[in-house]
Amino acid sequence: MYQIEEANSFSQWRDMISSTFVPLETEQVRSGPFIGRIGGRILQDVGIMRLDADAQTVRRSPALIARGGTGHYKLSLQLAGHGLLLQDGREAVLSPGDVAIYDTQRPYTLNFDSSFESLVLMFPQHLLGLSSEDVSELTAVSMGQGNRLGRGDPPRSLPPSPGSCPSSKAPLDTGWP
């Protein structure tokens, strides 16, 4: 079942984003009202989430990582707006159609200076079948139209935009720490 959650304040969003993914530090970029939506589905250990939110900065700090939990990778497809992903000493500018991977067991920062939409696939590290060292060479690398790994059209069949679905009162249970 595809579930939608909507935050009408930044404090609601901060709680929602940390409980949906992994614990995160989230900062509002602009003062004033804030709207954010997450729509998603969990299939066993894999989550697919569509985010539609106002400007923000998201950080996964060493202190949050030290709290424990299993490691996950996040594969993010930028649908609208622009973002900047920082991890492992690299920066990836994310434009619509760009894909990037990041590791929840290492610090990262995501900056969105304006409203954005993205599709995020979160899955346990063991499902990828690559060593942490191999994946660290791919983190914060934009795989878009200019990269041979990202050539082609974005997927045509995506979950509906969170704003186009009726609101669900049921909490989104991800089962992630």
Contact 50, 158 (CB under 8 A): yes
Length of the chain: 177
Question: What does the pLDDT read at residue 174?
Answer: 44
Mean pLDDT of all residues in 22-47: 94
3-state secondary structure of 171: coil
- Per-domain residue ranges of the chain: 3-154
Choosing among 2.60.120.10, 2.60.40.10, 1.10.3720.10, 3.30.470.20, the CATH entry for 3-154 is: 2.60.120.10
Which residues are within 8 A (CB) of 137 and not within 5 positions of it... i.e. 6 or more apart? none
| Digit-coded pLDDT (tens) for 56-94 | 999 999 999 998 777 999 999 999 999 999 999 999 999
| Digit-coded pLDDT (tens) for 99-147 | 999 999 999 999 999 999 999 999 999 998 888 888 888 888 998 765 5
Is residue 173 scored above 50 in pLDDT? no
Is residue 10 scored above 60 in pLDDT? yes
Overall pTM > 0.75:
yes
Q: Regarding predicted confidence, which is higher, 28 or 153?
A: 28
Which of 34-48, 99-113, 146-160 is predicted with the least confidence, judged by mean pLDDT? 146-160
Q: How many CB atoms lie within 10 A of CB 101?
A: 19
Contact 98, 152 (CB under 8 A): no
